[in-house]
Structure 1
Amino acid sequence: MSAHRFVFVGMLVSGALTLVGCAPSGPTVATFEVAGEQTYKIELATPELIEHARELLDGSTEEGRIPVGRIVRDDPSVNAPWSWHIDPATLEFADATTEVCDGLPEYVEDGTLTSDYYCPWIAEVIAIEGPGAD
């Protein structure tokens, strides 16, 4: 192989590594607005959850509009400035839920909502950020 081919191959490898380094990193996160008043964020841990959130955002589905997940208290994760987050491994989207887990994000924050799960009935996806958001 000539010296020119080594240089060209080296440039290709270097370029590929640069592109990999430019790929978005971190979790894909959906922002929800609840009752037009407050927002909170949930990490979307699977391609299926990302796709469903995208469909909710663009209005192409009416099914499974209610995000449901276990509350992890005293750890904001992607949900700062709130002091809690939803465990991404427990996230599901439902058509209906029990009233005990419904409410505003501030109800989780101040302890008014005592359930281990959060399921705001009037939540709407308003943004998706991170890898897979496109």
Structure 2
Amino acid sequence: MRPVLPVVTALALASTLALAGTAQAQQTGPASKASLGPVAYFEFADAGSDTFVFKLTDTSKIRHARDLLSGLSTDRRSVIGKIVTGTESYNPSWSYHYDPATVDFFDVATEVCDASIGYVEEHLSEVGGAFLPGNTWCPWSSHLVREVTVP
């Protein structure tokens, strides 16, 4: 008999990614080209004292982030996306960053993609396996702090 927990976890992750993809498709539309749009950088904090800067290239997601910061929106407050190993100039404190094309916002996500900023750094070599399958990271306690200017 096969263990049920890995199957349930995989199904839950697939559902979370499908919902994030649906939300992204609704926001960007089929003709949107993220690389042709504007670029904005935002910082979020988690439950600890760490902060993390990420890049957005989708106009509607940039607008949503700014609406969250201004208080015009309270929906989909947390950040989700696929992480990539490597330091970016706009996020030099960490050895990983979000792939800008995958970043979105959420209200509810599966536990399998939740981890703090520091914990991801400490366990970066394990990302993509049982830890953060598919490199999807959704820190549940993430909340935007500010928009940042990057030279």
TM-score, length basis structure 2: 0.64
Name the CA distance, whole Å, in 2 between partners of 1:129 and 1:50: 12
Across the aligned residues of Structure 1 and Structure 2, the Cα RMSD in angstroms comes to 2.0
Q: Which shows bigger deviation, 96-105 or 112-121?
A: 112-121
Q: 2:42: which partner in 1? A: 30
Name the CA distance, whole Å, in 2 between partners of 1:117 and 1:79: 18
Name the CA distance, whole Å, in 1 between partners of 2:64 and 2:81: 15
Listed one character per residue, the Cα deviations across residues 89-112 of structure 1 (whole Å, up to 9, x for unaligned) are 001111111111112111111117
Q: 1:70: which partner in 2? A: 82
Q: Which amino acid aligns with 1:83?
A: S
Q: Which shows bigger deviation, 106-115 or 58-67?
A: 106-115
Q: 2:24: which partner in 1? A: none
Which runs of 5 or more structure 1 residues have no equivalent in the other structure? 1-25
User: Within the alignment, does 1:111 sit opposite 2:123 as a pair?
Assistant: yes
Listed one character per residue, the Cα deviations across residues 49-86 of structure 1 (whole Å, up to 9, x for unaligned) are 11111111112211111211001013335221101000
TM-score, length basis structure 1: 0.71
Cα displacement (A) at 1:120: 1.0
Q: Which amino acid aligns with 2:143?
A: E
Q: 1:129: which partner in 2? A: 148
Q: 2:9: which partner in 1? A: none
Q: Secondary structure at the match of 1:96?
A: coil
Percent sequence identity over aligned pairs: 36
Alpha-carbon contact 1:41-1:79 (below 8 Å) kept: yes
Cα displacement (A) at 1:129: 2.5
Q: 1:39: which partner in 2? A: 51
Q: Runs (4+) of structure 1 moved beyond 6 Å?
A: none
Which runs of 5 or more structure 2 residues have no equivalent in the other structure? 1-37
Alpha-carbon contact 1:77-1:84 (below 8 Å) kept: no
Name the CA distance, whole Å, in 1 between partners of 2:143 and 2:111: 17
Alpha-carbon contact 1:29-1:129 (below 8 Å) kept: yes
